[in-house]
Chains A and B, each alone.
Chain A
Amino acid sequence: MPAPPRIHRSPVHRSVLWLRANLFSSPGNTITTLVVLGLLAWLGTRFFEWAVVNASFGKASVATCNALAGHGACWSVVANKWRQMLFGIYPQAEQWRPALAVILFCLMLVASATRSMWHARRLIALWGLGTLVCTWLMAGGLGLTPVPTALWGGLPITLMLAVFGTLLAFPLGVLLALGRRSQLPIVRAVSIVYIELIRGVPLITVLFMASIMFALFLPEGVSFDKLLRAQIAIILFNAAYIAEVVRGGLQAMPKGQYEAAHALGLGYWRTQQLVILPQALRITIPAQVNSFIDNFKDTSLVIIVSIFDFLYAVKQSVVSDLEWRHYFVEGYLFAMSIYWIFCFAMSRYSLWLESHLNREHRT
C-alpha cells in the first residue's frame, strides 16, 4: 500500500499552525492567552530585575546589600555564608572533609545509576567501601581530628538521611510487601500491623519516639547516637511506604507467572527473586522515585529532634546573624535550588530508567 502523501511544511509554518490551533482558536482563547502571557512577562521581568539586574553578587559587604533597599537580590549572603549553609556548625578548618564526603557520595550515586555497575557484588563493594570512607571523613579518627555527630550538619546530613533512608528501607519494604501477601497468617498479620501503624502516624512522631522515648526504654547509661537513631527511624518509616508501592507492583503480576515458575520447580524465594520481583519492581519505578523524592524533602523534619540538616543550616546561618538576617529569602532560594537540582536529577533518571528497562516488549 502506498504511504499517504505527506505535506511538507517548514518548522516556522508548523509552529504558526500549532499556535493558531492551541492558543488563538477563539476570541476567548486569544484573550486568555494574551492576559496570561502578559502576566507571565510582567512577573518574569520583575523577578529578572530583582534577581539579576539590580542584584548584588560576589562577596560584597552587607552595606552594599542594604543600599539596594530591597530592589535587588542580595546573593552576597550566599557568597559570604555558603560554607555554613552547606556544612552547618562543622568545624571550619575541617570543612574540606564534609565537602569531600558529599562529592564522593554524589559520585557513588552516579556510579550506581550506571548500567555497568548493576551487579550485586560491585554495588555492595562500592557502597560498603564508600560508606566507610565517607564515615571516616565525617567522623575522623585514624589521623583525622575526631568530630562528634552533634557537630555534623548541612548537606551531608540531608544526603545521608535521604539516601540511606531509602536504600536500607528498600529490602525491608520488599520483605514487608511479600509478608503482607504471604499465606502464613502470623507473617501477614505482623506485616499488616507494621505497615498500617507506621503509615498512620506522621514522620515527626516517629522521629520524636526515636529521639526521646526510645532513650527511656534503654538501661541507665546506655545510649546510642542521636543521628543514628533518627536515621533508623527514617528507614523504618520509609519501609512502610515502600512496602505499599511494592505491593502494588506484586498485585499487577499475572498468576501465570507464578504458575510457570512453580511448574519449573522454582521454590517461593527463587520465584520471587528471579521471576516476580524483577518485573514487579520495574513497573513501580515511577512510584518509587516519587517516594524517594518525598523522603529526600522530608528529611528536613529532623530539626524537630535538633539534627541540623541542610535547610536548617541555611536558615540558621542567615537568621542568627544580626547583620544578614534580613536576607533569608535569598538563602531559601539557594536551598530551594539545591533541593531542586537533586530532585530533578532523580526524576530525569527515573524516566531514563523506565525507557531503558522497557525496551523489552511485554507479552
Chain B
Amino acid sequence: MEELAQLAGGVEEIIRIDALNKWFGDFHVLRDISLRVRRGERIVICGPSGSGKSTLIRCLNGLETHQAGTVVVDGIELTGTLKSIEAVRSDIGMVFQHFNLFPHLTVLDNCTLAPIWVRKQPRARAEAAAMKFLQRVRIGDQAHKYPGQLSGGQQQRVAIARALCMTPRIMLFDEPTSALDPEMVKEVLDTMVDLAKDGMTMLCVTHEMGFARAVADRVIFMDRGEIVEEAPPIEFFANPKSARTKQFLDQILDR
C-alpha cells in the first residue's frame, strides 16, 4: 500500500519504523513502535519522563541499538552494523539536551569538524558554509569564541548550526530547551521554527506545547514505551482520545 501511495502521490517516506522493540536489561523501554515519517514532516514527541521518547529518536541514528523490529532511514536499514549506522548518521543532525559542544574547539571549529573530517570538504569551504549557518542562527559574531564563553541559549543555537553544517535530511531534537534558563528558551525555539519553515524534516522530543501547536504536523504521545496517541496538534490538544493523554496534558498545560 505504501509503495502504491508513493508511486501515486509522491508522499515520500523518509523514516519507517516497524514493530520496534528495545530493552535495557529487563526493562522494556520501547514496545512495538511503528511510525512513518514523510519527507518534510514536523513531528513533536511528548510524554512523561521514562516513556521512551528520547530512546526512540536515539534509535534513528544508532546512538541506541534495538533488539527487534526494523528501522529504515532514508532507504537504509539500521541493522546494527557499523557501516549502516555511519551511513545514516552523517545525514541526520541531532541536537541534545545538554548541547554537547566540544569545549576545546571554537564555535567555528565545532561547526567545521565533521564537514572537514567526514565530508572531506576543504577547510575554506567548510568555514564559509559554517559562517552562513552561524549567521542564520544569529550567532555569527561569536564564531571565534569557545563554547564555555556563551550562554546556554547561544550554545544550543551553535549546536543547531553545527548539525546543519552537515546538510542533514532529518533533524532530531532531544529536549533541546529543557536545560535552558527560561529566558533563553524562546531564542532556541525561534531558531527551530525558522528551520521548520524551510521544510526540514524534524522530530522533536519536547514539552514546549506552544512549539507543537505552531509547527508540528503531528504530535505523538508516548507512555511506558508505547505510542499512545498520534494526531495533528489541533485535534491532539482539543480532543485527546486516551485518558493517559488527557492526564498528561492537564499536568503540563496547567503550569
Contacts and interface: CB of A to CB of B under 8 A. Distances in A.
B118 A265 contact: yes
Interface in A17-47: none
Contacts of A200: none
Contacts of A275: 102, 113
B24 interface: no
A259 interface: yes
A264 B104 contact: no
Contacts of A348: none
B166 interface: yes
A267 interface: yes
A263 B63 CA distance: 7
Interface stretch (B15-23, B88-96, B127-135): B88-96
Nearest to A275: B102
Interface stretch (B2-10, B145-153, B181-189, B246-254): B145-153
Contact of B100 (A260, A274, A278, A361): A260
B236 interface: no
B39 interface: no
Among B96, B100, B118, B166, find the residue whose CB has the most chain A CB atoms closer than 10 A: B100
Interface string A196-223: 0000000000000000000000000000
A270 interface: yes
B100 A362 contact: no
Contacts of B166: 264-265
A282 B148 contact: no
Contact of B118 (A254, A266, A362): A266
Contacts of B169: none
Contact of B146 (A259, A265, A270, A361): A361
B147 A265 contact: no
B162 A267 contact: no
Given A274-B117, A282-B104, A259 B148 contact: no
Quick one: which of B94, B114, B146, B166 has the most chain A CB within 10 A? B114
B216 interface: no
A249 to B, nearest CB: 13
A266 B148 contact: no
B65 interface: no
A105 B62 CA distance: 49
B221 interface: no
By size class, the interface of chain B is 20 to 34
B31 interface: no
Interface string B66-107: 000000000000000010001001101110101111111000
Contact of A259 (B93, B100, B101, B117): B100
Contacts of B89: 262-265
Contacts of B93: 263
A256 interface: yes
A257 interface: yes
Contacts of B62: 262
A254 B99 CA distance: 12
B245 interface: no
A112 interface: no
A360 B149 CA distance: 8
A256 B117 contact: no
A279 interface: yes
Contacts of A265: 86, 89-90, 114, 118, 166
Given A256-B98, A362-B103, A363-B103, A263 B61 contact: yes
A262 to B, nearest CB: 6
Nearest to B93: A263
Nearest to B114: A264
A267 B89 CA distance: 10
Contacts of A262: 61-63, 89
Which residue, of A263, A265, A266, has the highest number of chain B Cβ atoms within 10 A? A263
B155 interface: yes
Contacts of A278: 104
A264 B162 CA distance: 9
Given A265-B166, A278-B104, A363-B148, A259 B63 contact: yes
Contacts of B98: 256
B151 to A, nearest CB: 11
Contacts of A263: 61, 63, 89, 92-94, 96, 163
**The 4 residue pairs across chains A and B that have the minimum distance between CB atoms:** A361-B148, A265-B90, A260-B100, A264-B114
Interface of A: 254, 256-257, 259-267, 270, 274-275, 278-279, 282, 360-363
Given A275-B113, A361-B103, 16 more contacts: A259-B63, A260-B96, A262-B89, A264-B89, A264-B90, A264-B163, A265-B90, A266-B113, A266-B114, A266-B118, A279-B104, A282-B104, A360-B103, A360-B104, A360-B148, A363-B103
18 contacts: A254-B100, A259-B63, A260-B100, A260-B102, A263-B96, A264-B90, A264-B118, A264-B162, A264-B163, A265-B114, A266-B113, A266-B114, A266-B117, A270-B117, A278-B104, A279-B104, A363-B147, A363-B155
